[in-house]
Chains A and B, each alone.
Chain A
Amino acid sequence: MIRFDRVTKIYNKGSSPALRDCSVEIDKGEFVFLVGPSGSGKTTFMRLLLREELPTSGRIWAAGRELGRLSNWRVPYLRRNLGCVFQDFRLLANKTAFENVAFVLEVIGRPRPVIESQVNQVLDLVGLGQKKHRFPSELSGGEQQRVAIARAFVNRPLVLLADEPTGNLDPETSIGIMKLLEKINKTGTTIVMATHDAGLVDMMRRRVVELDQGSIVRDQHRGVYG
Chain B
Amino acid sequence: MIIKITDQPLDLQELIADVTTEANGGVVAFLGVVRRWNDGPDGQPREVHWLEYEAYKDAAEEVMRDIARQVAEKWGLTSLAMAHRVGHLEIGEPAVAVAVGAPHRGVAFDACEFAIDTLKATVPIWKKESWETGADMGQSWVVNKESLQES
Q: Do A and B come from one complex?
A: no
